[in-house]
Amino acid sequence: MILGSYAFEWLPDRWTIPDAERVIGEVKTYNSSVVFDFGVSLSGKQIVMEWDWMPAAQFDAMDLIFQADEPISWVLEKGVVGSILVDLISLTGDLFEVIGYDEAFPYREKVKATLLILGGQALS
| Structural domain spans, the chain | 2-9+16-120
Angular region, 110: left φ>0, alpha ψ -120 to 50, beta rest: left
End-to-end CA distance of the chain: 17
The reported pLDDT for the residue numbered 123 is: 47
Q: Is residue 96 predicted with pLDDT exceeding 70?
A: yes
Nearest Cα residue to 121 out of 86, 88, 82, 75: 82
The reported pLDDT for the residue numbered 120 is: 64
Global confidence as pTM: 0.79
List, for residues 37-75, the tens digit of each pLDDT value: 988 888 889 999 999 999 989 999 999 999 999 999 999
Q: Is residue 121 predicted with pLDDT exceeding 60?
A: no
